[in-house]
Amino acid sequence: MKLRRYILIVIKKAKLSQYFIPLLAIFCFIVLALVYIFYNPRPQAVETSAQSQAYVSLIFEDAGMDEQEVHKLLEINLPFDVAIIPFLPFSNKIALMCSKSNKEILMHLSMEPEDQNTLWLSPRSIMNSTPDDEVDKIFKDAMLNLPHSKGFSIHLGTLVCTNEKIVGHLVSLAKANNMIVVDSTSSPKSLFSKIGKQKGIDVISHDVILDSKNELKPIQDKFKLLFNIAKKKGFAVGIGHLGQEGGLTTIEAFKEVLKDAQRENIKFVFVSDIVKLIKQTD
């Protein structure tokens, strides 16, 4: 009997051993599948693309003397602003051209600089001694000369921007006409931002001046710097110039960096859109 029981036990063990390896393999497969489903990290590509969207506003200043340059600029079918000096030979014509091309217009008001060099001042400039009623008239006539202007920026103006009375008056005029203000003076003494806050109007400052020499590579590098700033803080404003400081070279640099902008998920917008973005983040 003992021998028979021992033989049966041996037989049972032998049968179980036939199924042990297949069962173990199935169990391991199920465990690995569960680990892969619940613990495998998802790809980050879509997330990274969505969160890296950045906005760039470009303002091309000093328009008014050369309509051919503006024609070249308007060939670029993207949003940007053109800051036109009023009362110049082609100011009104350029404003109409820009409106037809769905570009945003700024009045680039000429103002007295600190060095009192009048060489680059334009007709009917606002001087440090200009009375309020004359400032009103210049502003009103500039609006008529440059219809559909979204706001104003400053041509030169490093002296006037420190004059609390004139700055306050200009900011009030902008607010009354539902206009934005771009402080393009590059002066640390400028009162535009401070007085703008007091009067409840957003004043936009630039992040990068794109040109100062008529050389392609340095301007392209400035564009890339602008894109990097935009990626860090979400948006950025760059100023380029028409005429001898940049002109056709700045326009060419803009065209050359468009592929970089697309690759880095940069979206070009008007400066008025930057004002909206600032309000959303406040």
- What does the H/E/C string look like for the chain? CHHHHHHHHHHHHHHHHHHHHHHHHHHHHHHHHHHHHHHCCCCCHHHHHHHCCEEEEEEEEEECCCHHHHHHHHCCCCCCEEEECCCCCCHHHHHHHHHHCCCEEEEEEEECCCCCCCCCCCCCCECCCCCHHHHHHHHHHHHHHCCCEEEEEEEECCCHHHCHHHHHHHHHHHHHCCCEEEECCCCCCCCHHHHHHHCCCCEEECCEECCCCCCHHHHHHHHHHHHHHHHHHCEEEEEEECCCCCCHHHHHHHHHCHHHHHHCCEEEECHHHHHHHHHHHC
The alpha carbon of residue 218 and the mean position of all alpha carbons in its chain are separated, in whole angstroms, by 19
Residue 23's pLDDT is: 57
Nearest alpha carbon to residue 84 among 72, 75, 102, 97: 97
Which has the higher per-residue pLDDT, 260 or 10? 260
Q: How confident is the model at residue 280 (pLDDT cuts 50, 70, 90)?
A: confident
Nearest alpha carbon to residue 192 among 163, 223, 225, 229: 163
Is 182 in contact with 151 (CB distance < 8 Å)? Answer: yes
Residue that is written with structure tokens 């993207």 in the block: 78
Structure tokens at 244: 């001898």
In the CATH scheme, what is the homologous superfamily, with its name and number, of domain 54-281? Glycoside hydrolase/deacetylase (3.20.20.370)
Residue 46 reports pLDDT greater than 70: no
Residue 22's pLDDT is: 60
Which has the higher per-residue pLDDT, 151 or 12? 151
Residue 221's pLDDT is: 97
Computed on alpha carbons and rounded to an integer, the radius of gyration of the chain in Å comes to: 32
Nearest alpha carbon to residue 111 among 179, 67, 162, 177: 162
Domain residue ranges of the chain, discontinuous segments joined by +: 54-281
Q: How confident is the model at residue 40 (pLDDT cuts 50, 70, 90)?
A: low
Structure tokens at 236: 């950025």
Q: Within 10 A of 254 (CB to CB), how many other CB atoms are there?
A: 24
Residue 55 reports pLDDT greater than 50: yes
Is 145 in contact with 86 (CB distance < 8 Å)? Answer: yes
Per-chain mean pLDDT for the chain: 88
Residue 268 reports pLDDT greater than 60: yes
Nearest alpha carbon to residue 161 among 139, 184, 137, 135: 184
Residue 147's pLDDT is: 96
Residue 27's pLDDT is: 60
Instruction: Name 105's bridge partners.
Output: 82, 149
Residue 37 reports pLDDT greater than 90: no
Q: State the Cα–Cα distance between residues 74 and 152, nearest whole angstrom.
A: 20
The alpha carbon of residue 45 and the mean position of all alpha carbons in its chain are separated, in whole angstroms, by 24
Is 178 in contact with 205 (CB distance < 8 Å)? Answer: no
Residue 6 reports pLDDT greater than 60: no
Residue 24 reports pLDDT greater than 60: no
pTM: 0.81
